[in-house]
A = this chain, B = another copy of it.
Amino acid sequence: MKEKITIYDIAAKLNISAATVSRALNGNTKISDTTRKLVLEAAENMNYEQNKLALALKSGKSKNVGVIVPHIDRSFFSGVIRGIEEELNSNGYRVIICQSYDTEEKEIESINALLNAQVDGILMSISNLTSDLDYILNKTVRKGVPLIFFDRKQDLKGVSTVTINDYEGGYQSTQHLINEGCKNIAHLRGSKRLEIYNDRCKGYKQALLDNGFEFKEEYVIETKSKIDEGAEAVQKLFKLPTPPDAIFSSSDFVALGAIKELKKMGVKVPEEFSVVGFGNDPFTQFMELSISSVDQFPTEMGKITAKVFLEQINSPGEIKIEKKVVLTPKLWIRKSSTKKDV
């Protein structure tokens, strides 16, 4: 009972060849009904289970895909992974998780490990735009391993991407704040090394210009996605000759930190100051002062990323389609940016 049984064991028992057993098990048509039934029955009795590893070695397909994210325990990423897992699992694939901790070394290390493990594809959200990563990413593409970026992408030939329209998200948020009557809108942005933050900022800027507002450099502060940084940014902004009366933040955590700091300073949100975040982290709607935020639909993004992978892997020829899917974000308007009487 403790032994692993193979097709040879069942072949021996039935005095037939392993090939026949294999055929019977795989529903091959060219086999007699009698022997098929015999094999199936024996397999059942002997508790036979296919060794996917051998199959993988033989076929060159491991039925595993690697997913690389900065941190698995950020709600956005765990949501994406959820979607990927749901979609891929029902298609017979398993998902291998790697965390890059936003570092390039870990990222490269993970890619190499996944490649050595013979994954059938790699779905990732890159840490930042660097050329060092290019080498290995190109290697991946050359090897013929489908590579797909989600959310945080990088332009690379032969690589499909699934993102949301960050520009649109930035534009919508800013337009909303303008509609609410805000006159001086600041922007707390993320790293300049990531496209998503550049795009959100562009959307912010364009919305300002389209409405006849001035774009002021000093209103844009770069932050990391941490609560403290939101508080610090508010401090900086209020030292300006003309402090803003609204913030569009590229991060919900930064938005939260900003709101907490404003409250500490006695500035009333949303009456005197409006705030919009990004990411629609669950906590934004739990707060007594719920925070307006842009939904990135993480689970959907994960599912679509998985689908793009499946399409690619199932595409007939050697020609790899380079697909660029762009989802439309949705701004959830909540209390933090809704003035009572405007």
A99 and B82 contacting across the interface, CB-CB below 8 Å: yes
A26: interface (CB < 8 Å):
no
How many Å from the CB of A314 to the closest CB on chain B?
Answer: 20
A188: interface (CB < 8 Å):
no
Residues of B within 8 A of A118 (CB): 51-53
Please, what's the 1-or-0 string for A193-206, where 1 marks a CB less than 8 Å from any CB in chain B? 00000000000000
B81 and A97 contacting across the interface, CB-CB below 8 Å: yes
Q: Which of B51, B72, B96, B143 is in CB contact (< 8 Å) with A64? A: B96
The answer to whether A73 and B82 touch (CB under 8 A), given A2-B142, A98-B94, A288-B289, is yes
State how many copies of this chain the complex holds: 2
Please, what's the 1-or-0 string for A264-299, where 1 marks a CB less than 8 Å from any CB in chain B? 000000000000000000110011110000000011
A181: interface (CB < 8 Å):
no
How many Å from the CB of A246 to the closest CB on chain B?
Answer: 20
Give the contacts of A46-103 with B (CB-CB under 8 A).
49-54, 56-57, 62-64, 71-73, 75, 78-79, 81-82, 85-86, 89, 94-99
Please, what's the 1-or-0 string for A104-122, where 1 marks a CB less than 8 Å from any CB in chain B? 0000000011111110000
B53 and A62 contacting across the interface, CB-CB below 8 Å: yes
Closest to A61 in B: B53
Residues of B within 8 A of A72 (CB): 72, 78, 81-82, 85
How many Å from the CB of A300 to the closest CB on chain B?
Answer: 13
Residues of B within 8 A of A240 (CB): none
The answer to whether A54 and B51 touch (CB under 8 A), given A2-B142, A2-B143, is no
Q: How far is the CA of A71 from the CA of B86 in the complex (A)?
A: 10
Q: Which of B1, B4, B98 is in CB contact (< 8 Å) with A85? A: B98
How many Å from the CB of A59 to the closest CB on chain B?
Answer: 10
Residues of B within 8 A of A256 (CB): 286
The answer to whether A50 and B116 touch (CB under 8 A), given A75-B73, A98-B94, is yes
A113 and B94 contacting across the interface, CB-CB below 8 Å: yes
Residues of B within 8 A of A73 (CB): 75, 78-79, 81-82, 298-299
Q: How far is the CA of A45 from the CA of B224 in the complex (A)?
A: 40
How many Å from the CB of A84 to the closest CB on chain B?
Answer: 9
Residues of B within 8 A of A116 (CB): 49-52
Closest to A54 in B: B57
Beyond contacts A2-B144, A86-B99, A288-B289: 7 other A-B pairs, Cβ-Cβ < 8 A, are A52-B118, A71-B82, A73-B79, A89-B99, A94-B98, A94-B117, A96-B97
Residues of B within 8 A of A96 (CB): 64, 94-97
Complex A-B, nearest 7 residue pairs according to Cβ-Cβ distance, in ascending order: A283-B283, A78-B78, A73-B78, A73-B82, A53-B118, A52-B116, A52-B117
Residues of B within 8 A of A75 (CB): 73, 75, 78
Closest to A80 in B: B73
Give the interface centre of A112, A116, A118, A286 by most chain B CB atoms within 10 Å: A286
Q: How far is the CA of A85 from the CA of B101 in the complex (A)?
A: 12
Q: How far is the CA of A196 from the CA of B224 in the complex (A)?
A: 37
Q: Which of B51, B85, B283, B288 is in CB contact (< 8 Å) with A97? A: B85
Q: How far is the CA of A118 from the CA of B53 in the complex (A)?
A: 7
A53 and B52 contacting across the interface, CB-CB below 8 Å: no
Closest to A257 in B: B286
